[in-house]
A = this chain, B = another copy of it.
Amino acid sequence: MATIKDIAKKLGIATSTVSKGLNGAKDISEETRQLVLDTAVEMGYAVKRVQRKGTHKVCILIENMEYNSIDQFGYEIIVGFKLAAARRHFDVTVLPTNLNMQAEEKYDSFMLKNGFCGAFLLGFSLHDDYIAQVHKTSVPTVLFDNVIQNRHVGSVGTDGFEGIELAVRLLADGGHKRIALLNGAKNSMVTQERHDAFLESMERHKLTVDPALVQNGWFVADCAKQHVAHFLEHGATAIVCASDLIASGVIAELKRLGKRVPEDVSVIGFDDLPIAQHLCPALTTVRQDRVSLGKSAFMLLEELIGGVSIGKLLLRPELIIRESTGPCPEKEAPKIPQKSLYF
């Protein structure tokens, strides 16, 4: 492990200057400070230093996820993370980020400069600069819904296989055979996972997958417009959606096309955001326990900081049955249970 002396030697400067650079002293130039930080990161000095100082500062970096009100997906995740962190006396800084910020400063330098000993990355997509850099980082990092092969990086999420299975099983038990999947954006690991889970569940329930009924949208309500009519043309009697927002768009579009939910078409969401129960009809959905996701993310981060290399932590989903699902139309179908289903 590199020392301050090693860094000074490599840069041909005094150890006191290196020390100033690392500690953010004002009496050296910004260029020198950046050079010291970059060299410290490159020589693997970064993380140990933060650990040795006993800092308990971590951050949540957020890109492309709404989190300011309780209606939004990220809100409770952050609440859960902060709750767990407070119990363990960690400071948490929440930082929105964007592509510019990521282009300006490298992930490891950013963490070192700000004294963070770990980070939770929320809402990043696979092509973000920071995700690319996380492949090589030695900073303890937790990702949400993304998986990266690096022993300093862990992933937290809800088990998509169980979630989709709960949804498909409910519909299959209700006699549905023409089940559609309106998935999220292509450039996302959960989209791929839910796609695979859908094929697996349909096979488990001996149902045929019609490729015309499996489509990618993106994670907003508007994407429904492009797909619902197409699903109806191909005989869908039920639509499984990759998020509650998508499901809200699907219900609106079905109404516009003169279809009743659930009498003509059943709709299932994913997430159980607060809006789910206020939709008309109230939305049957696969619940992600977001407070627990946040708590688990912190717990995982703390273990990574302590040197335990946890790669993956998956929470169980829960199916919340409300009014947007019913038996398959035009057939005698078994009655669907009217309460929560758990695995």
Interface residues of A (CB under 8 A from B): 149-151, 159, 162, 289, 292, 295-296, 299, 303, 308-316, 318, 342-343
Q: Choose among B312, B313, B343 the residue that contacts A151 (Cβ–Cβ < 8 A).
A: B343
Smallest CB separation, A274 vs chain B (Å): 20
- Cα-based distance from A318 to B318 in the complex (angstroms): 34
Do B314 and A312 have beta carbons less than 8 Å apart?
Answer: yes
Chain B residue at smallest Cβ distance from A154: B316
Q: B318 to A295, Cβ gap below 8 A?
A: no
Contact (Cβ within 8 A) B310 A314: yes
A-B contact pairs, 15 of them (CB 8 A): A149-B162, A149-B343, A150-B343, A151-B318, A159-B312, A289-B309, A292-B310, A295-B303, A296-B308, A296-B310, A299-B303, A308-B315, A310-B313, A310-B314, A311-B315
Contact A292 B308 (CB under 8 A): yes
A285 to nearest B CB, angstroms?
17
Complex Cα gap A335–B197 (Å): 40
Residues from chain B with Cβ under 8 Å of A295 in the complex: 303, 308
On chain B, the residues within 8 Å of A303 by CB distance are 295-296, 299
Report how far A303 CA is from B315 CA in the complex, Å.
11
Query: With A149-B343, A151-B342, A299-B303 in contact, is A314–B316 under 8 Å at CB?
Result: no
**Min CB distance, A306 to chain B, in Å?**
9
Contacting pair A309 B315 (CB below 8 A): yes
Please list the 4 inter-chain residue pairs (A to B) with the smallest Cβ-Cβ separation, ordered nearest first.
Answer: A149-B343, A311-B316, A309-B316, A312-B314
Rounded to whole angstroms, the CA-CA distance of A20 and B149 in the bound complex is 54
Who on chain B is nearest to A289 by CB? Answer: B309
The residue in chain B whose Cβ has the minimal distance to the Cβ of A306 is B295
Which residue of A312, A313, A318, A343 has the most chain B CB atoms within 10 A of its CB atom? A313
The complex places the Cα of A318 from the Cα of B149 at a distance, in Å, of 12
Q: Bound state CA distance, A150 and B299, in angstroms?
A: 22
Q: A151-B343, A310-B313, A311-B316 are in contact. List 12 more A-B contacts (CB 8 A).
A: A149-B162, A151-B316, A151-B318, A159-B311, A159-B312, A292-B310, A309-B316, A309-B318, A310-B315, A311-B314, A312-B313, A313-B314
CB of B314 within 8 A of CB of A162, answer no
A316's partner among B162, B310, B315, B342 (CB-CB below 8 A) is B310
Question: What's the minimum C-beta distance from A304 to chain B, rounded to whole angstroms?
Answer: 10
Best-surrounded residue of A289, A299, A303, A309 (most CB of chain B within 10 A): A309
Minimum CB–CB distance from A333 to chain B (whole Å) comes to: 24
A128 to B343, CA, bound (A): 20
